[in-house]
Structure 1
Amino acid sequence: MFVLVEMIDTVRIPPWNFQRQLNEAIDEELNKKLANKVVYSVGLCICLFDVIKLDDSYIFPGDGASHTKVQFRYVVFHPFLDEILVGKIKYCSQEGVHVTMGFFDDILIPPESLQQPAKFDEAEQVWLWEYETDEGAHDLYMDQGEEIRFRVTDEIFVDTSPTGPSSAEPECPPPPGEAAAAPAEDVKKEAPYTLIGTICEPGLGLLSWWNN
């Protein structure tokens, strides 16, 4: 679930931090820059583990800060495919069951990956497993806040780096007396890192299903 990733970066230390130990200032700047951020194709950065190597520091003309090339290792949340994890149900929707790990919320179990037969209850806004027994079917609800065990089947990284300004020509203002056109709806913000899971296997799903 957690891995150590070796990285190299140039850390800028502002002049007002020169009185501090260099290692302390670098640790703080690296955590400020990376902690709780998703690095494309790497994962969710958690915290600095250690610094491997510090190069010489330089001060460039016009900039009073020091610049130091740093080689370091960072703790990253990046589960491997087929890893079994335990989280909590954040909410359910037509898209599937949304799961949170507490520090990471972008986990989706799509409808086809639920225990089958599954059904979405529109009134309660929850998914349920129609579990067949000798006495008939029993509806096992996947309620918000329940602990759930799932297997990671896929991961999706989205490059959310800022893009340049639109190349479209700016619109002319409306003539006097005419109302301006309504602005286009904002595009839904995509998660930079999403895990896809499944519970369509024995032993997976709500912990309460298998512990009772």
Structure 2
Amino acid sequence: MVYRKRDMDSLVYTLYDFLPWTKHPKGKYYYTIPAVAEDLSARHLIPDVHSKSYGLFLLLSNAIQTDKAIFANLVTNIVLRGLEKPKNRGQITQDQVLKVVEQCERIGIRIKTLKSDKIIEQIPQNQDENEYFIKWLHDMDKMESIRRGREFEQFLNELFDFFRLSPNPAFRLKNEEIDGSFVLGHTPYLLEAKWHTKKLGSKSSKSSILSL
């Protein structure tokens, strides 16, 4: 099937917020894009890559070249499972879903399911991403330190994911644990983060930076 690459890129950009590509350490594999493909018997279309945007682009490209119905089912179920994901509740808007439908039509695929009143009416019209992350920060401030440290790690992962920085969760190298990593301008960066209960002065900030 012939379609413009930029139209597929636009669809990938919109779908990016619905589900992760890899499972977060505390998350469920069920809420990942590869899990959706596997449940639709499309495991053979899943590319062996780590980048979420590139992986999603290849998956959808493989699907549309194989069967339009598989492509439509993939997009539909990524959206529906994204709406079902607990962390996404109230964060995905009607505009985002309708934008997915419009972008699919540009590619040449009509998806009526996502335009049904039954689905659209259950989705909020507006969202405030800043408010979502700020509230999460305030909630963490009330947690005990061990739980807060784990929650902060997940917060950073979702924050970087929201800004499409391809985050990776914490991992261990020999005796050292790396809090995570992200990609900016095709360059990977390692992340070291620490929650401080009290505000840091300029001296403490410089000390923390130098210790890295």
Question: Normalising by structure 1, what TM-score?
Answer: 0.26
More strand by share: 1
Q: Which has the higher contact order (CA 8 A, sep 6+)?
A: 1
**Which structure has the larger Rg over C-alpha atoms?**
1
Question: Normalising by structure 2, what TM-score?
Answer: 0.26
